[in-house]
Amino acid sequence: MGERTGDVSSPARLAGPGEGIGADELALATRNHGLPLEALRHDVTPPGLHYVLTHYDIPYVPDAGAWRLTVDGRVRTPLDLSLADLLSFPQVTTRVTLECAGNGRALLTPRPVSQPWLVEAVGTADWTGVPLRLLLAEAGADPAAADVVFTGADHGVERGVEQDYQRALPLVVATGHDPEVLVATAMNGAPLPPQHGRPLRLIVPGWYGMAQVKWLRSVTVSDVPFTGFQQSVAYRIRRTADEPGEPVTRVAPRALLVPPGFPDFMSRTRVVRPGAVRLVGRAWSGQAPVSSVEVSTDGGAHWVPAHLEPVADGHRWAWRRWHHDWAAVPGAYAVGARATDAGGRSQPLDQCWNRGGFGNNAVCWVRVVCVADAHSP
Amino acid sequence: MGERTGDVSSPARLAGPGEGIGADELALATRNHGLPLEALRHDVTPPGLHYVLTHYDIPYVPDAGAWRLTVDGRVRTPLDLSLADLLSFPQVTTRVTLECAGNGRALLTPRPVSQPWLVEAVGTADWTGVPLRLLLAEAGADPAAADVVFTGADHGVERGVEQDYQRALPLVVATGHDPEVLVATAMNGAPLPPQHGRPLRLIVPGWYGMAQVKWLRSVTVSDVPFTGFQQSVAYRIRRTADEPGEPVTRVAPRALLVPPGFPDFMSRTRVVRPGAVRLVGRAWSGQAPVSSVEVSTDGGAHWVPAHLEPVADGHRWAWRRWHHDWAAVPGAYAVGARATDAGGRSQPLDQCWNRGGFGNNAVCWVRVVCVADAHSP
């Protein structure tokens, strides 16, 4: 083995034609997890069902009372805050749908070798915390600064680079009111679970998961754009390895359905009985409100509008419920849904391929068979 | 597609030589999840970090107050109980380490195609509920009965058989004091999360996960041995497809360690610095108390005894903590631990192969490199 830390990494690569999921991808799939899609029934996802992705280890924080958050860099007055200090600021609760930027990656051809998500890397929670803009105002952040850099306590190596997990937001986003970025201390009314950032994390409504820095230790105001690994190397939309690419930012529109009927254990094919089947699901976009959802039961040959239910209680950063009543007759079906947002963005039927496997919001199909027998032989 | 429900299933099979994880296995790995191994630091696993395996869908139970549990079959007085009724019985809390019978399956050669666990399908919780023996006494179970059959609300198809998930225990186990089987309503002092059986599940200390029936709806005392799918077809130790095999019952001994240092994102290789490294882990067995743990840093060529910490507060059905202080010098290592229980059972170095991939408790190796550089270039 190597003599340098970075030698534990291998270069990014694409899977070969027909190459199955490898041991490295499986190790990630076994520790991270998606939302079991039947849990789309819950308006607010119970913590253990919400998707989780951690790049390195989940930090062990036995004493949250000892945690400190610093706010420094281009500020008038650096801050060094305890959890109790944070709770003395005004608290806001926002219902937010979070999605991993890599959701849909394992459906791509060729497949970028990384965390092999299908489509389940999503969840919705009520996040409570201090608006970041209040902390930046308290510290007196330089209004001419470029970026605000967030550092988590999670530490590891990635593509040869040893690092604490770090991401940045432009100052205008970090101090924005809409969306309002939170330094969150609670999820669904309880302290953050370890895997969701105990005791502190960032919540940036409408942005993909890489922006939602967990185990937040420091907020640093910078007068130059941040060029750390997770900003400039990872999380870029690239077709070739040598182009700089575009940054991954906000969540593209997507609709998913609660798989109807009941599953086969291994194939996950769904079985429904003939008759009325209510298809229920959720739709979201981080770019603009969802404006319509369509449903197809024939793999996209025909589409019908679903009934989009009202935005509940002003929860505009959360997924929106929809349903469609399907009159099922015996046969085999490919059932899917397609969201469109108020900006006119709609889910494609073909994959959105890029080398990192980010933002692939192509419509996903659920195999359903409708059979009349009450019991198998 | 077929005209019968059972046609959605394909037969059980073994992966071919070098065959990567397939789309069907990945779909299971993405919805179920293991314990991220760094969470072995927690005495009691937070619910979202505890392993989860569900054969079919997680039932949606919006109103736990409407749930009923029936106790019937060969009983003097059938019972039909609400949650409130259950809470009127004496309550017991037991700390139990649960492990999936398929843990270690994806490390087998050839690999049985099913949920592709590496070694993380484990967790420990404080489960609170009514001793099952009290419910069976209240109902007046026939002491000459053979089995007690447990039915969950989870419904699906498996290998062509449509079913509610059902498992049985011999009457003598179901009414036993040691271990004492619980009908549990709480996990770590809170109502059961959906994925752990909300609102009711069985807890059978010392047994693999297939016995821990979730979303429990009925308890049926039977004068004939139960021959349902999960008892007679699945969860049997078989070398060939046509032998009846032995039933999967109690948990074999295993030790795992908190992976030391920090990881590479993709390879999960660990990096430690030269000097004292405390290796910490847990060990358990459902067959007898763990009596010793040994550690190797060279892939099993040499073993040294670890310090096995005392059983905490009589928690004899929970994992036991151990540690070993390792003086790391630069180099590459394969670090593992091996548990032995008071019955003399010890973990093998070679795989325990069977067609279902059950109970493979072979020692597992963590790749560690010790490097002196403080930062990668």
Residue A249 is encoded by which pair of tokens? 């930012």
Residues of A in contact with B58 (CB under 8 A): 36, 38-39, 49
Give ∠ CA A162-A163-A169 in degrees, rounded to 5.
Answer: 145
Q: Tell me the shortest Cα–Cα distance from A231 to chain B, in angstroms.
A: 16
**In this complex, do A21 and B20 lie within 8 Å of one another by their Cβ atoms?**
yes
pLDDT confidence of residue B148: 98
**Residue in A165, A150, A148 with CA at minimum distance from that of residue A223:** A148
User: In whole angstroms, what is the distance from residue B211 CA to residue B131 CA?
Assistant: 15
DSSP string, B288-333: S-EEEEEEESBTTSS-EE-EEPPPGGG-TTS-EEEEEEEEE-SEEE
Enumerate the residues of chain A whose CB falls inside 8 A of the CB of residue B262. 56-57, 155-157
At residue A299, the 3 state secondary structure works out as coil
What is the reported pLDDT for B47?
Answer: 81
pLDDT band at A5 (very low <50, low <70, confident <90, very high): confident
Residues sharing a CB contact under 8 Å with residue B236, sequence separation 6 or more, in sequence order: B244, B245, B246, B247, B248, B356
Q: How far apart are the C-alpha atoms of B37 and B252, rounded to whole Å?
A: 19
Give the DSSP letter string of A130-145.
EEHHHHHHHHTB-TT-
pLDDT at B1: 41
The reply to whether residue A267 touches residue B10, judged by beta carbons under 8 angstroms, is yes
Helix (H, G, I), strand (E, B) or coil at A8: helix
At A99-148, the pLDDT tens digits run: 999 999 999 999 999 999 999 999 999 999 999 999 999 999 999 999 99
B241: its two tokens: 């497809």
Which of B48, B196, B262 is closest, CB to CB, to A47? B48
Q: Which of A31, A56, A229 to mutate to test the interface with B (most CBs of B within 10 A)?
A: A31
Contacts of B377 (CB under 8 A, 6+ apart): A4, A6, A160
> How far, in Å, CA of B196 to CA of B194, rounded?
5
Q: Do B9 and A375 touch (CB under 8 A)?
A: no
- Asked which of A297-306, A309-318, A352-361, B100-109 is least confident by mean pLDDT, the reply is A309-318
Instruction: State mean pLDDT over A211-232.
Output: 98
Residue type, B241: A
Q: Is A165 helix (H, G, I), strand (E, B) or coil?
A: strand
DSSP string, A301-330: SS-EE-EEPPPGGG-TTS-EEEEEEEEE-S
Smallest Cα distance from B320 to chain A, Å:
19
Q: How far apart are CA B257 and CA B268, in angstroms?
A: 14
Query: Cis ω on the peptide bond leading into residue B377 (within 30° of 0)?
Result: no
Q: Are the Cβ atoms of A5 and B376 closer than 8 angstroms? A: yes
Separation between Cα atoms, residue A182 and residue B6, nearest integer Å: 50
CA distance B344 to B350: 17
B133's enclosing H/E stretch is helix B132-139
What token pair was written down for B335?
A: 């670090």
pLDDT on residue B374? 58
Does position A242 have pLDDT exceeding 70, yes or no? Answer: yes
Provide the pLDDT for residue B375: 52
> Is residue A98 very low, low, confident or very high in pLDDT (cuts 50, 70, 90)?
very high
pLDDT at res. A1: 41
Query: Could you tell me where the DSSP H helices lie in chain A?
Result: 23-31, 83-87, 132-139, 171-174, 229-232
C-alpha–C-alpha distance, residues B317 and A23, integer Å:
32
Residues of chain B positioned with their CB less than 8 A from the CB of A106: 26
Of B10, B47, B369, the CB nearest to A1: B369
Q: What is the pLDDT of residue A6?
A: 85
Chain B residues touching A161 at Cβ < 8 A: 376
A263 contact residues in B (CB cutoff 8 A) = 56-57, 156-157
Tell me the CA distances in angstroms from B104 to A342, B72, B362, one per residue in order.
48, 37, 8
Secondary structure (3-state) at A355: coil
Q: Between chain A and chain B, how many beta carbons pairs sit less than 8 Å apart?
A: 250
Residue A377, preceding peptide bond in cis (omega within 30° of 0): no
Kindly tell me if the per-residue pLDDT of A374 is higher than 70: no
Whether residues B24 and A267 touch (CB distance < 8 A) is answered with yes
Q: Do B21 and A19 touch (CB under 8 A)?
A: no
Nearest-by-CA chain A residue for B21 = A21
CA distance A175 to chain B (A): 31
The angle that helices A23-31 and B23-31 make with each other, rounded to 10 degrees, is 30
Do residue A38 and residue B47 have CB atoms under 8 angstroms apart?
no
> Two tokens at A350?
């073909």
DSSP secondary structure letter of residue A64: G
Q: What is the pLDDT of residue B358?
A: 98
Averaged pLDDT of chain A: 96
The ipTM assigned to this model is 0.95
Query: In the structure, what pLDDT confidence band is assigned to residue A314 with cuts at 50, 70 and 90?
Result: confident
The secondary structure of residue A49, as a DSSP letter, is: G
Mean pLDDT by 10 residues, chain B (377 residues): 78 95 96 97 94 98 97 98 98 98 97 98 98 98 98 97 97 97 98 98 98 98 98 96 95 98 97 97 97 98 97 92 98 98 97 96 97 65
For residues B252 and B278, the answer to whether their CB atoms sit within 8 Å is no
Q: For residue A170, give how far its alpha carbon lies from the nearest alpha carbon of chain B (Å).
A: 26
Evaluate if residue A377 carries a pLDDT over 90.
Answer: no
Q: Which of A14, A25, A26, A30 to mutate to test binding with chain B, by most B CBs within 10 Å of its CB?
A: A30
Show the tokens assigned to A159: 């593509």
How far apart are the CA of B327 and the nearest CA of chain A, in angstroms?
A: 18
A361 vs chain B: nearest CA distance in angstroms?
Answer: 17
Tell me what the mean pLDDT of segment A46-50 comes to. 92
Distance from CA of B136 to the nearest CA of A (A): 31
What digits encode the pLDDT tens for the residues A6-44?
Answer: 889 999 999 999 999 999 999 999 999 999 999 999 999
Provide the token pair at A15. Answer: 């899977």
Interface test with A, best of B40, B165, B265, B321 (most A CBs within 10 A): B265
Q: Decide if B19 and A20 are in contact by the 8 Å CB cutoff.
A: yes
